[in-house]
Structures are given as C-alpha cells and as structure tokens.
C-alpha cells in the first residue's frame, strides 16, 4: 500500500491502541505496518453505544446532510493476504490454525492468514449445546487437554450418563437412545469459551485475528473469481447519510477466501446464488435453537449428565426436541430446537421453550436456580441431501455455512472443524503449487467426499426427512429407529425434504391459535428479559440491518394471511405489529433492530421472503456468556 494513503488514513482517524491491546492482547506475529493500518480502522465496538467501557468519547452527533456526498465513491484502504477467512467459529479457526501449521512446518513464516469476525470478541455470537466429539480436535491440537500443557482447554466436563425421554404434558417416558447419541468419550463444553481458547491458539502460531470487522461485501476479480471481502462502512445514519464519525470500510484481498459464517451466512447467500452452488443439491432446511444457561442448586447437580427429550411441548407436526446438560460447577445448559418447517404461524418457538421448562423433567432441576445467560441461533438441518458445491472460484464454504451438522447425532462442531482443516490443506497445496491466476479448490471437494464428514452424514441422511411422512412425529420416530438399528444408512433410496421452511407456513385462519401462559419470572421469562441476558447492543442511529424494502407493503402482504408470524418466530422481540388506525389494515409494521441477536430466523422463515438479514456495524450484536 502506498505510504501516502497510510499516512492520510492515520491523520484523519483516531484510535486507542492501548485499548486494543487490553482487549485482544499482543499480536507478536503481525508486522507493525500492517497492524497500524488495521488499527487505524475503527470497528464499531469503539463507537457504538453502551459498550464504550474503555473510552469517554461522547456518542457521535449527526453530520449535516450532504446530498451530493456518496460514501461509496471514497476509495477504500486495502490489505493483501494469502488467505482471508470470514468467521471466527470452530471451522474458521481450525482452518486458520491448520494453514499456519502447514506454512510454519515448511518454513514459510511470511504466509499470511487473516481472520475477520463480526463479533466484538471471538465467541460473542456463538451458540451451541454443546457436547463435543473430540476427534477433529485431537487431530488438530493433540495436547489440547494434556495435564502438562499450560495452555490446555480446562473447561471440559466428561459426559458420564445419557438419558432419552419422550415427554407428554406431565410424564417423561424413557425411550432407547439411538447409537448416534451415545456420548461415551465426549465432553460437555461452552462453545463460547472454547472458541475464545481456540482463537488464542491461532494467534500463538501467527494467525492475524481481527474481531469487530464485519465482512459485508464480496470482491471479485475481472474473471469473476472471488478476490476477497470488504467490511461495511461505519458512521452512516439511519437515514443513510454519513455522520461526522464516518469511516469507509476496508478491503481484504486474498488469493483464497474461506467463508465460515455459520448457518445462513450473509455472504454465503450471495456466493451460492452467483455460482449456482445448489444446482445438484436439495434446498436447505433449518432449525431454531433457543438456549439458557442456569446456575442450579448443588444438590440437584449431576456432573456429566446428558438429557435429551422429544414430544411435549411441540405439536406432532413439528420437528424438534429439548436438551439439558450438566457441566462445570453447578451449571446447566438447557434448550429447545424447533424445526423451522413448522406449519402453524401461531406457534412461537420462544413460547414453546418457556413451556418446556415447566415440564417436571426440567422444572425439578431449575427450581431454586438462577438463569444467567440467554441465546438463540438457527442451525442447518438439511444434512447430506442439502450439501451444496463447497468450492467456488477463489474460495470455499466451510463449517455450518455449508451445512455439515449431523442432526440425529446433535453434533456439528467436529464436522465443522474437520471441514476447515480439509479446506486448509487443499488451500495450502493450491497456493504453493502456483503463484498466479485464480484458484479453484478441486482438492477440497475430493477430500470432503472421502472424509468421515461425508460417510457420517450419508449414513443418517434419511432420518430428518422421514418426519415429513403423513404420520409426522410418530412416523419419523419409527422410521428413524429402523435407520438407526436396521438399515444403518445402506438403503438404496434417499428421502427428500418437504417444502422450504418459509413455504411450509400455513394461513393463520387455517390453523389453531396458540395461547401461551404468562411467564412466572422464576422458571419462564418474558422475551425482553431474556434479550437483556444476551448482552445484545446496536447503535441506534445506523441503517436497519434487517432489510425490508417497503415496510407498509410488507405489512399488507403478511398481516392479512399470517397475523403477525414475525412477532412469534423471532426469539428477540425484533418484529412488531402496532395498532395504527391510519393504516388500511389497522396495524403498522415495526422493526426493533437493536434487539437482534443475529439468529437469522427472519431471513429463513418469513413467508414472502422479503426480509434480508445483513451485517450491522462490526462489533455489535449479542455478547454471549457460556453459550
């Protein structure tokens, strides 16, 4: 980069390097010039609202409207790296670590791997149960839990006992657990803690990690291949005008770009469409996972207990199930996953979760305890049939953004990590074999098909779609039992998924209305209380990142048919219909974007598909704890 551009950048921006050091620790492997450039760019965590714990700067005031000023015409600063990874979850971090392992082993210490994460800190946006199968972790970092390793990951609880229950309203009936759910040798963890630890291991070997940088645009070469990504502009008002805090986004150019955005990534959506990556696969189907972490009475704590349930409170035409994991010191992870192909628009996944906690199976554990954290996130449930082409010109999809979750096993961390490692190996081979031209990771596709990811998902491919039979829940349970114990994935057929999740929604007047009990404030809570436990925060004066072109038109389309389905499918109270006599339909559609926990349910489930989830300013959103 030209020194003049760098000098100009530093002269017009303010940055507190001490604050960054306190927040992220030293980065001994990043060159000083590169670090100065990147630190000159201020992620939104430094300018957004109530998270300004390390600065006393007042919230930026609005600049005067400049109708002729188009911020997109300003030149963006750029950085050149070998590999750019978007997303700091297990897949992205595993890819980054494996790349640097390969480069360092070859003596190629100048090989640059840069990882961008939209959350203010690694792990802030990550949600999972999580019972981890350590196979991929054992391969990536063999001494990850060794007693003689001073940096070992200590926050693990060995899974000691499994329980599977079918729930009626008052009973918990023991049922056999399928072989896939045997957790012997697995560990209960907080994926939030694990991701932070994995990030530290990545930095130790030279990965450049920049949390608070929200990649919002894909960059392309003249031949159409992916060139890298750009982060979003900062300091744009809600009306779309630049404020006096305006900062142009940065470009990160790379020969290979790996997308590890997690479920339904905003850039992944664009890439899948541009390169038609779903041409040979079925559509993706999704679930919404809602989770709380509780500190419970020590007398009720059973370290290593893993409990799964199905049935109540969900109706028989809705796929899903609950969990409760005892981990750490008197901690319990409890949650419910609801398949987003549910038909009744009156159903509220959040309301179902609150009901579930009052079932004796769960209430007996939670009573007398304290809820300390809340989170929600969608997950891919399509499995084998829904895996798209994962390589594209200039990059690849890895982890849950590609859809490697094993639904019957209720595990995806090990497959996400392994996909990242396979992509890293294919990437390093490709980049060290040629010095110029666009890169296509053919080897990654081949490695996936010969990996345990492929065989594991193929074996269970018919279990999730079996719940679309006319027998619903009971038919799915019976068929899944046959697959688990008899067929073992060797059947010559592959079942198809039903309608896409948004198209599965029926009209409100054709479905039974569901009334949810009022929360008691002890076991169950209102939605805003839960959102407050997610730590979510967005600067109010910025463009709404939940894009709806015409709010009035949206209301006219959705309200008469679905009577406010957005109110109910959102687990964060983002969407509302407010009575308004000035509107023809008597209500006004409203988006409370500040509440958003980045679960992306709206983008998936809205019937007319006119809500587009995009990234807000970097560093914003939830700040999860122990999720």
Q: Give the active site residue among 195, 365, 413, 534.
A: 413
Q: Is 390 part of the annotated catalytic residue set?
A: no
d(CA 323, CA 122): 25
Of the listed 128, 268, 309, 415, which one is catalytic?
Answer: 128
Q: What does 25-79 look like in DSSP terms, one character per residue?
A: ---TTS-HHHHHHHHHS--GGGTSGGG-TT--PPPPPPPPP-TT--GGGSPPPEE
The sign of the CA dihedral 627, 45, 35, 56 is negative
- Assess contact for 340 and 263: CB atoms under 8 A: no
Candidate list 94, 570, 601, 615, residue with the active-site label: 570
- What three-state secondary structure class fits 231? strand
52 is catalytic: no
Catalytic residue at 427? no
Tally of CB atoms within 10 A around 489: 17
Residue 425 per-residue DSSP state: H
Query: Which pair of tokens denotes residue 532?
Result: 């407050």
Q: Is the distance from CB of 375 to CB of 624 less than 8 angstroms? A: yes
Which residue, chain included where needed, has tokens 């929600």?
A: 376
Cis peptide bond upstream of 313, omega within 30:
yes
Catalytic: 263?
no
Concerning whether 599 is annotated as a catalytic residue, the answer is yes
Q: What is the C-alpha separation between 5 and 10, in angstroms, rounded? A: 9
Phi and psi for 162 in degrees, rounded to 5? -115, 140
| 545 touches 598 (CB < 8 A) | no
Q: Are strands 370-380 and 208-211 parallel, antiparallel or unpaired?
A: unpaired
- Look at residues 473, 464, 471, 466 and name the one whose alpha carbon lies nearest to residue 180: 464
Query: Using CA atoms, how far apart are residues 269 and 550, in angstroms rounded to an integer?
Result: 21
- Is residue 570 part of the annotated active site? The answer reads yes
How far apart are the C-alpha atoms of 431 and 396, rounded to whole Å?
A: 14
Strands 113-117 and 208-211: parallel
**57 included as an active-site residue:** no
Task: Point out the catalytic residue in the list 190, 596, 601, 627.
Answer: 596
Q: Which of 599, 601, 615, 627 is catalytic?
A: 599
- Tokens at residue 21, please? 């050091």
Cα–Cα distance measured from residue 440 to residue 474, given in angstroms and rounded to the nearest whole number: 45
Contact between 499 and 476 under an 8 Å Cβ cutoff? The reply is no
CA distance 229 to 89: 18
Among 42, 377, 418, 568, the active-site one is: 377
What is the C-alpha separation between 466 and 481, in angstroms, rounded?
A: 11
Among 505, 524, 602, 615, the active-site one is: 602
Q: What residues are annotated to the active site?
A: 128, 377, 413, 570, 596, 599, 602
């Amino acid at each position: 980069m030209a020194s003049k551009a760098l000098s100009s950048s530093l002269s017009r921006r303010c940055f507190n390097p001490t604050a960054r050091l306190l927040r992220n620790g030293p980065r001994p492997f990043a060159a000083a010039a590169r670090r100065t450039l990147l630190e000159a760019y201020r992620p939104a965590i430094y300018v957004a609202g109530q998270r300004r714990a390390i600065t006393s700067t007042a919230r930026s005031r609005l600049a005067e409207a400049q109708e002729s000023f188009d911020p997109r015409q300003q030149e963006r600063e750029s950085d050149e790296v070998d590999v750019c990874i978007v997303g700091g979850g297990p897949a992205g971090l595993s890819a980054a670590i494996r790349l640097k392992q390969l480069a360092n082993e070859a003596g190629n210490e100048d090989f640059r791997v840069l990882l961008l994460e939209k959350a203010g800190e690694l792990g802030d946006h990550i949600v999972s149960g999580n019972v981890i199968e350590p196979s991929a972790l054992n391969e990536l970092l063999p001494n990850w839990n060794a007693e003689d390793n001073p940096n070992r990951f200590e926050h693990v609880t060995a899974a000691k006992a499994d329980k599977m229950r079918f729930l009626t309203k008052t009973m918990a009936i023991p049922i056999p657990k399928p072989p896939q759910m045997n957790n012997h040798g697995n560990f209960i963890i907080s994926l939030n803690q694990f991701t932070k630890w994995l990030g530290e291991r990545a930095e130790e070997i030279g990965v450049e990690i920049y949390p608070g940088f929200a990649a919002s645009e894909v960059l392309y070469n003249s031949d159409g291949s992916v060139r890298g990504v750009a982060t979003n502009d900062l300091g744009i008002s809600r009306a779309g005008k630049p404020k006096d805090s305006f900062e142009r986004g940065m470009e990160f150019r790379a020969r290979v770009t790996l997308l590890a955005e997690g479920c339904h990534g905003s850039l992944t959506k664009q890439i899948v469409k541009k390169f038609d990556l779903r041409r040979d696969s079925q559509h993706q189907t999704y679930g919404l996972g809602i989770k709380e972490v509780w500190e419970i009475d020590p007398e009720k704590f059973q370290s290593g207990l893993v409990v799964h349930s199905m049935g109540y409170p969900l109706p028989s035409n809705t796929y899903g199930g609950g969990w409760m994991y005892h981990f750490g010191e008197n901690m319990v992870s409890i949650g419910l996953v609801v398949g987003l192909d549910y038909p009744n628009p009156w159903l509220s996944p959040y309301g179902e979760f609150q009901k579930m906690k009052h079932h004796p199976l769960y209430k007996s554990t939670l009573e007398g305890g304290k809820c300390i954290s809340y989170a929600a996130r969608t997950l891919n449930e399509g499995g084998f049939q829904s895996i798209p082409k994962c390589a594209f010109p200039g990059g690849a999809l890895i982890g849950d953004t590609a859809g490697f979750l094993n639904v019957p096993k209720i595990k995806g961390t090990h497959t996400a990590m392994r996909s990242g490692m396979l992509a890293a190996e294919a990437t390093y081979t490709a980049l060290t074999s040629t010095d110029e031209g666009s890169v296509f990771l053919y080897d990654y596709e081949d490695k996936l098909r010969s990996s345990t990811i492929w065989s594991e998902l193929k074996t269970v491919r018919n279990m999730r779609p079996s719940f679309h039979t006319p027998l619903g829940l009971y038919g799915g349970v019976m068929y899944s039992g046959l697959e688990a114990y008899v067929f073992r994935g060797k059947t010559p057929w592959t079942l198809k998924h039903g309608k896409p999740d948004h198209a599965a929604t029926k009209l409100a007047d054709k479905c039974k209305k569901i009334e949810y009990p009022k929360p008691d404030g002890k076991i169950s809570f209102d939605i805003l209380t839960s959102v407050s436990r997610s730590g979510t925060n967005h600067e109010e004066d910025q463009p709404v990142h939940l894009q709806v072109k015409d709010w009035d038109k949206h209301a006219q389309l959705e309200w008469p048919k679905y009577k406010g389905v957005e109110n109910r499918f959102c687990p964060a109270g983002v969407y509302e219909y407010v009575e308004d006599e000035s509107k023809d339909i008597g209500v006004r559609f409203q988006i409370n974007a500040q509440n958003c926990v980045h679960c992306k349910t709206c983008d998936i489930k809205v019937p007319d598909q006119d809500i587009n989830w995009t990234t807000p300013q970097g560093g914003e959103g939830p700040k999860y704890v122990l999720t």
